[in-house]
Structure 1
Amino acid sequence: MSHLPEVISPEKWIVHLFSAKSVAEGGTVRRKVSDVERLVGRERFLHEVLRRGFRVVENAGQFIIFCNREPVHVLA
């Protein structure tokens, strides 16, 4: 993703995140939990993920978004 300005509206951040090439290809994207909470808030972020039918997991201060509607299986 390209560099973001110091100040960005939550709406623009959401558009920027979900316009990533990996999102369009059904891949994954990762974002720091602290950045998400600071820029858009956890509730708004989760709403946007679910609205698109995607899945998200949280681990070690990161959100990993699976940008497709396939099930996610934790294997080990």
Structure 2
Amino acid sequence: MLNLNSPLSPEIWLNDLFASKAVQQGGVIRRKARDVERFVGMELFLREIHRRGFQVAENAGQIVIFCNRAPVRWLSGPVPLS
């Protein structure tokens, strides 16, 4: 749900997000999922992620954006039952 009372348009919010130093250096950034929904909307956000060739993960209400095109390799998985 977009916040119609926000002083920032979705485009300005996305521009600010992707202008950060971490993005420029190919790093990782994190935002609350509710903020992404509130200020941009998930559909527009995911389109921009795809356009840039980035990857994104969500866990416990946090969005983690990998701001490069390198593959993501998960180092942990389910704990085996003994």
TM-score (normalised: structure 2): 0.84
CA distance in 2 between partners of 1:74 and 1:63 (Å): 16
CA distance in 1 between partners of 2:48 and 2:37 (Å): 13
CA distance in 1 between partners of 2:51 and 2:36 (Å): 17
Q: Which residue of 2 aligns with 1:28?
A: 28
Q: Which runs of 5+ in 1 are unaligned?
A: 1-5
CA distance in 2 between partners of 1:74 and 1:59 (Å): 13
Q: Which residue of 2 aligns with 1:3?
A: none
Q: Does 1:56 align with 2:52?
A: no
Q: Which runs of 4+ in 1 moved over 4 A?
A: none
Percent identical pairs in the alignment equals: 58
Task: Output one character per residue of 1:2-53: Cα deviation in whole Å (capped at 9) or x when no partner.
Answer: xxxx521000000000000000000001000000001000000000011000
Which residue identity does 1:64 align to in structure 2? V
The within-5 A match list for 1:1-12 is 7-12=7-12
Structure of higher CA gyration radius:
2
Q: Does 1:70 align with 2:70?
A: yes
Q: Which runs of 5+ in 2 are unaligned?
A: 1-5, 77-82
